[in-house]
Amino acid sequence: MTGTPVSNQIRRLRFDNGEMTQQTLADQAGITRQTVIALEAGKYAPSLELAFRLAHAFGVGVEDVFQWQIQSPT
Amino acid sequence: MERLSWMWMLLPFLVGVLLMTTTPNRWIGADLGVLGSSITLVSVWIALWLASRQREESPSSVSLAEKENWVALFYTGALALFIASELDVIAQASSVYQLAGMGKVIVATLIGWIVLSSVIRQRSSQRVKHDERDGELQRRADTVSHTAICVTVIGLAVTLGFSPANRLAWFTPLLIAHLLMLALIVASFTGHASAAWAYWNDRR
């Protein structure tokens, strides 16, 4: 998939949470490790439900994990 | 280089496809079609085994859904090549019973595909087999596949409609039936190829 206008702090949050592995996060969120990799690389924008599940895994709000990169109209 | 070790299996895979498609059906009593089908099965199996030996934390490691997609891509590609290579034989056949040898190769290939897919699924240690990204990639692949089937069937219809009468003699009902099957397989291959591209692009 191509890059998305949604950036995220997943990699930083993993390290802030005791260097959580990608597999541990994937298991907690009910996704594959490859999807965590795609998310961290900014190549996949998750559904709203998955965004909440990931935020729940870190114990933070959705906006602490995901940010929308507002693009000004040209 | 270790992560590309599976590519060594491309050679036996191509040999298997060549045996299925370009050689005579029998040689010294051996059924070369079934032999070729078996070689493709073993080479795909070894390629997947080599790919799965990569370190678990490697970003290039492949998910179950992607593995299944690669297997489907290889098998639909091999089937499409095989049927395309047999079109002249099909055009000359007057009944489906004359195509029993070809049917055996197709059945052997399909059985190989089913067995390989189920073994991969059973051996997978992934807790989550498919997730929403796999579903989204699959939906995109289905769209590509749908476009491909439209293009191939319209292409076939136009070819039939504009072919001169003497050329139409080649298009027997049996051949048209196989061409429609080939269109389905090509559409499926195109969908799997688009999904494979998307998976690969995500891992870059």
Residues of A whose CB is below 8 A from B199: 34
pTM to 2 decimal places: 0.78
Confidence of residue B157 (pLDDT cuts 50, 70, 90): very high
Reported as a single tens digit per residue, the pLDDT across A7-47 is 999 999 999 999 999 999 999 999 999 999 999 998 999 99
Highest mean pLDDT among A57-61, B38-42, B164-168: A57-61
Q: Do the chains contact at B133 and A32, CB–CB below 8 Å? A: yes
The residue type found at B146 is: H
User: Can you tell me the distance from the alpha carbon of A36 to that of A61, in angstroms, rounded to the nearest whole number?
Assistant: 18
User: What's residue B197's pLDDT?
Assistant: 94
Closest residue, chain A, to B62 (C-alpha): A34
- Shortest Cα distance from A30 to chain B (angstroms)? 6
Q: Does B133 touch chain A (CB under 8 A)?
A: yes
Quote the CA–CA distance of A28 and B101 in Å, as a whole number: 51
Contact B127, A27 (CB under 8 A): yes
Computed from CA positions of residues B137, B139, B141, B147, in that sequence, does the dihedral angle turn out positive or negative? negative
State the smallest CA–CA distance between residue B201 and chain A in angstroms. Answer: 7
Q: How confident is the model at residue A1 (pLDDT cuts 50, 70, 90)?
A: low
CB contact under 8 A, B133 and A38: yes
Mean pLDDT of B89-99: 87
Amino acid found at A72: S
* Residue of higher predicted confidence among B2 and B127: B127
| Most confidently predicted of B45-49, B122-126, B137-141 | B137-141
Asked if A33's CB is within 8 angstroms of B202's CB, the reply is: no
B3, two tokens = 């992560």
Q: What Cα–Cα distance (Å) separates residue B189 from each residue in B137, B149, B192?
A: 15, 10, 5
Query: How many CA atoms within 13 Å lie on the side-chain side of B54?
Result: 17
